[in-house]
Amino acid sequence: MVGLQADSSRGTNRPGGLEGRTVECQILGSLKILQDGRAVPLGGSRPKMVMAALILDANHVVSTDRLIDAVWDEHPPDSALESLRAHVSRLRSALGASRDRLTTEPTGYRLTLGLDELDAERFETLAENGRRLLTEGDPGAASESLREALGLWQGPALADFADCAFAVPHISRLEERRLAALEDRIEADLALGRHAAVVGELETLCGSFPLRERLWAQRITALYRSGRQAEALRAYQQLRDTMVEELGIEPSPELRELEAKVLRQDDALAVSQHASPAGRGGQPSRASEARADAPVRLMLVDDHPVWRQAMQAALEHAGVAEVVGEAADGEAAVAEATRARPDVILMDLHLPRLTGTEATAAILEQLPGARILMLSSSGEEDDVLEAVRSGARGYLLKSSTAVEVGDAVRRAATGEAVFSPSLASVVLNEVRSRPREGGLSLSVRQREVMRLLSAGHSYADIAEHLGSSEEDVRTEVRATVAALQGVDRAEGPAPSARAVRTVMFVDVVGSTAIATKVGDRQWRDTVQRYHDVVRQAALGHDGALVKTSGDGAMATFEQPTSAIRAAEEAQAEVKALGLSVRAGVHIGECEITSDDVHGVAVNIAARIADKAGPDEILVSHTVRDLVLGSDIELVDRGTHQLRGVPGRWRLFAVPS
């Protein structure tokens, strides 16, 4: 426990007259005391230190010496004892009807708490229950219990006392148990076939805890089960490099065995029987299904024979491809492609006689359905865009591993457009850098697909995020390639899908008065600049400006933390325009089409914004729950009736 010791008297031997009075102590975040649901004002930093020290040893006498050490460390003033008594007296007054819980003892003070009145103890109970259920083979119930446990956290443990010596051991212990519970929850999710849903989370966690081997093992497993074998192997190598460099040791035998299983595609890595076969996360990816296919008939085009030999040996040894033709320059490539008619052509961008782009155009004239993958060593944006615009199905860096190249070749053979993370990043940069100069124009949905691809997500991951199918994702990628190549998409109704999105609404406070004061022309210019600020703030936090209406603007994000950061940035930037904006943020399921996002969640975000004051950002309770554990602080603004929305909604404000 948190320094609390098991005590059979807890909850049964409470001081007289306290029955029925609910007290809740919260230390999984900033220190809070709630009495019958209302916050108890604790005063300044020193009374809070006294209360924290008492909570950490609840139901036991804490000596005055220990309390003085907690508050003043090694330099107590001569008046420390008198000051301590004054702080305790103020805390009793603040507790009001529950003042009898804080009692004076011969050697110090005691704070009496009943069962379930400390969030850290509830966390420990739920986490231990989840761990037990996981061990007993019930990952579904384990996941629920662990999610409930982790949901109690509202920020770093004892956040107010991170630098206080008395709190440091408790903080370390609690944070370690939180991380262990998080690992257990991810373990349960993997057992349930939710590997695609946890890939992104594990990437972030491995970045935060680069030597935590269990997290890396989970990440490697999740990537492999999502049909991303090459990335799984790359993750192992990344961990190994870090451990060798920083510690001078190799990964554990368990992790080395995991790498070996990934290399041989061991059946032991398959999803357990607990996974739902109907769940999208449990379905094999297109790439994994292709493993059983016949080798792809491949043509290699590069002016370096050593590279061609090495790539042929690697791909044929892996059973991925059968090389049916080779060429060392662009002109020879056109002739050889016409003769061999391969399934896929793997071609260097920089070739003698005809460049890769010129050869691609010539081959496509002869073989309109040819599937060409372009490679280069540079990764320069101009090279990447030139390759795809010439008609190539995708782009790879020559530094890609044989496994990555093989995966791309298989996908190209099925007709997929192969968008590596680097290519998707280049496309996003093209959209962002020239949004109004006749440059590449993508729909909201296409930009979202590109953003997820650039972050390394598989088609299965993206389909799960969008609430659609992998084929829908492929359609959006093909449409993006068509846009790059200047080909209009087939006409028809814009596809739509339902997916969870964080919605941010912002509007200008006092817009009518400002417009009246400055006149229509200046106001239009100001509003346009304001919309540009919101657009750039959204793009800078991996979001997208969906639409504007008058002085209002709506943007969507995948993560609620991104929406809040974008709202803060927009508020700060528009001050230079002499404007004050308010913002509302909510997360929920939305209807997404190629050029719009709408639904109940959108309406709720707009109504939340209506409740905000000047320069204020309000978020829903759902958003607040999802940002717990981040560095974003929120202040409870109580419950509100939102216009046209049933019930009362608890809202939280981002401190300015």
pLDDT in tens, 235-248: 999 999 888 888 88
Nearest partner of 372 among 360, 384, 354, 389, judged by Cα:
360
Nearest partner of 446 among 471, 424, 461, judged by Cα:
424
Hunting for tokens 């990934």 — which residue is that? 262
In eight-state DSSP terms, residue 372 is E
Q: What is the pLDDT of residue 81?
A: 92
Q: How far apart (Å, rounded) are the C-alpha atoms in residues 486 and 291?
A: 34
CATH number for region 424-484: 1.10.10
CATH number for region 1-168: 1.10.10.10
Nearest partner of 321 among 447, 386, 407, 382, judged by Cα:
407
Read out DSSP for 225-274? HTT-HHHHHHHHHHHHHHHHHHHS-PPPHHHHHHHHHHHTT-GGGSPPTT
CATH of 497-653, one of 3.30.70.1230, 1.10.150.450, 3.40.50.1820, 3.40.50.720: 3.30.70.1230
Q: Is the pLDDT of residue 557 over 60?
A: yes
Q: How far apart (Å, rounded) are the C-alpha atoms in residues 636 and 204?
A: 28
> What is the H or E stretch that residue 94 is in?
helix 80-95
Long-range contacts of residues 555-559, Cβ cutoff 8 Å, at least 24 apart: 555/503, 555/504, 556/444, 556/501, 556/502, 556/503, 556/504, 556/590, 556/597, 557/501, 557/502, 557/504, 558/448, 558/451, 558/452, 558/465, 558/501, 558/502, 559/502
Quote the mean pLDDT of the chain: 81
Residue type, 92: R
Q: For residues 481 and 543, is the Cβ–Cβ distance under 8 A? A: no
Residues β-bridged to residue 592: 497, 597
CATH of 193-282, one of 2.60.40.10, 3.40.50.720, 1.25.40.10, 3.40.50.2000: 1.25.40.10
Per-residue pLDDT tens over the stretch 606-629: 899 999 999 999 999 888 888 887
Residue intervals of the chain classified under CATH 1.25.40.10 are 193-282
Per-residue pLDDT tens over the stretch 493-519: 344 566 778 999 999 988 888 888 888
Q: Is the pLDDT of residue 594 over 90?
A: no
Query: For residue 653, what pLDDT band results from cuts at 50, 70 and 90?
Result: very high
Residue type, 150: L
Least confident of 9-18, 39-48, 181-190, 198-207: 9-18
The token duo for 582 is 């308010």
Least confident of 90-104, 481-495, 597-611: 481-495
Residue range 157-185: average pLDDT?
91
Nearest partner of 432 among 440, 424, 423, 420, judged by Cα:
440
Q: Does domain 289-419 have CATH number 3.40.50.2300?
A: yes
Nearest partner of 301 among 380, 362, 381, judged by Cα:
362
Q: What is the pLDDT of residue 488?
A: 38
- Strands 617-620 and 581-592, by their bridges, are parallel
Residue intervals of the chain classified under CATH 3.30.70.1230 are 497-653
Q: What is the pLDDT of residue 503?
A: 92
Q: Is the pLDDT of residue 435 over 80?
A: no
